[in-house]
Amino acid sequence: MIWLNSHFSRQFEFKNENPDSGELLKQLNNFKHLIGVEMFSFLPFQFNPTVNGGLKELSSMDFSEFKRLVDVDFSSFDEMQKPGLEKMAFSTVVNRFFIKDFKQDFIVSNSKTKDFIFFVREGDWVLVKKVKADSPREDILFTLSGSMETLQAKTAQLSTGKWIEFQIELQRIEPKRAGFSNISKALNQLGKFEFSRFSEEPSTLKEYAFYYVLNKAGFPPFITREEVSMVYPQFKIVKPRGRISKK
């Protein structure tokens, strides 16, 4: 069962009591991409960087070049918030490189609804998210970031019948420690990765692999719950309600 009813400036509606796996993957990917755009509307600061190129260009940069793209003034914020705010700004810049390589298409309807409601049941996996559109900005951002983390993994799992084997291969090339200097090697190795070994339609797996590696390097391409909790310490990161099967 899947029931999605979204929200805010873009609208997305889909209801299906029993979608097949291909239709479920398609709809979850659309919803994931929608969230990936919407979350940046709820940052606690205004920032819309322009970058030249995609992840190949990102991997050729040094950290000083990258940091020059982060043109945000955090002086009006509390000192305790600034590390998290900077990480959010880094993620925003990385996102702009990321989406140049992974185009984001949306199913958009003309309906108007104010609430973000997301319910999916697939086998023994359940994900439920709900937040009012007039909720505080940070509440919405925390919900969207948690949804993104869950959906990235779940869509990748649904796109392959060799999920465990894929994870093992991916872990072999992931950065062993966080650091901007580790991005280049990992992305270059991913460029040689044979995604077609694991899926007949490998685009979702490829997107997840780059997302995963960038996260491991400490430069995620989307806002994370950790970043939100660094800025707004009232949020505690708990085990998500959506469970990713190990099978």
Mean pLDDT of 103-118: 51
pLDDT at 147: 86
Please state the rounded mean pLDDT for residues 13-28.
67
| C-beta pairs of 106-112 under 8 Å, 24+ apart in sequence | 106/10, 106/12, 106/30, 106/33, 106/34, 106/37, 107/12, 107/14, 107/27, 107/30, 108/10, 108/11, 108/12, 109/11, 109/12, 109/13, 110/11, 111/11, 111/13, 112/11
Percent of the chain's residues with pLDDT above 90: 57
- pLDDT the model gives residue 78: 95
For residue 35, pLDDT over 60 is answered with yes
Q: Residue 117: which pLDDT band, with cuts at 50, 70 and 90?
A: low
Residue 89 φ then ψ, to 5°: -65, -40
Q: What is the pTM of this model?
A: 0.85
Give pLDDT tens digits for 129-173: 667 777 888 988 998 898 899 889 989 999 999 999 999 999 999
Q: What pLDDT does 8 receive?
A: 44
Q: Is the pLDDT of residue 10 over 50?
A: no
